[in-house]
């Protein structure tokens, strides 16, 4: 793979992270529920971290060096799941506007997952593959977190991806 192709892949990913960051900030403003607002703000911070990782990789490529994936601390997303659980118990039912915003955010995450999976297939070395694999895992966790909120709004009986009850029980 040519250096320019590598740079284009990373630049595209950076642009996607910037757009997603903006989407999440706008969503935090629009959503009516405090749990939803906090979730979107946390997701926005994660997208900013993703962008920083990608910008470091781009800098390394532009300087002719290897892409070195930085060591990343324990996943931050899991830290907010207990907060989401306790806050949902205290809050009122979310509205349909919130559902539309969440579904849009989930689509954004799905697009990111697909793009980064493509990047893994086209990775030019192990470090690059490691970086894009990490980004896939993070976006998949974002997707799951958003799905938890959607399940709550829709009252499907699912909590964290597990069916809480059925009418057949």
pLDDT of res. 45: 93
Domains of the chain as residue ranges with CATH: 3-163 (1.20.1260.10)
Main-chain phi, psi angles of 86, to 5 degrees = -70, -35
Going residue by residue through the chain, which has 169 residues, state the pLDDT in tens, using 9 for 90 and above.
Answer: 677 788 888 888 898 889 889 888 988 888 887 888 888 999 999 999 999 989 998 888 888 766 665 554 444 433 333 343 344 444 444 555 788 888 888 888 898 899 999 989 988 888 889 899 999 999 999 999 889 888 888 877 655 555 554 455 4
Phi, psi (5° rounding) for residue 21?
Answer: -55, -50
pTM to 2 decimal places: 0.65
> What six digits make up the tokens of 88?
């949902």
Hunting for tokens 């915003």 — which residue is that? 101
Let me know: does 31 contact 40? Beta carbons within 8 Å.
Answer: yes
Nearest-angstrom CA–CA distance, 117 and 9: 12
């Amino acid at each position: 793979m040519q250096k320019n192709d590598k740079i284009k892949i990373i630049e595209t990913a950076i642009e996607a992270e910037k757009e997603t960051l903006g989407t999440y900030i706008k969503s935090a403003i629009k959503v009516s529920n405090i749990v939803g607002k906090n979730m979107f703000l946390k997701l926005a911070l994660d997208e900013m971290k993703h962008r920083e990782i990608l910008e470091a990789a781009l800098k390394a490529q532009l300087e002719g060096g290897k892409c070195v994936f930085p060591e990343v601390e324990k996943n931050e997303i899991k830290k907010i799941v207990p907060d989401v659980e306790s806050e949902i118990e205290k809050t009122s039912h979310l509205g349909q506007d919130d559902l539309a915003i969440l579904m849009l955010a989930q689509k954004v995450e799905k697009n990111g997952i697909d793009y980064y999976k493509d990047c893994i297939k086209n990775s030019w070395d192990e470090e690059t593959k490691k970086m894009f694999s990490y980004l896939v895992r993070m976006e998949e966790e974002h997707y799951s977190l958003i799905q938890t909120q959607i399940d709550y709004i829709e009252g499907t009986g699912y909590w964290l991806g597990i069916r809480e009850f059925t009418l057949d029980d």
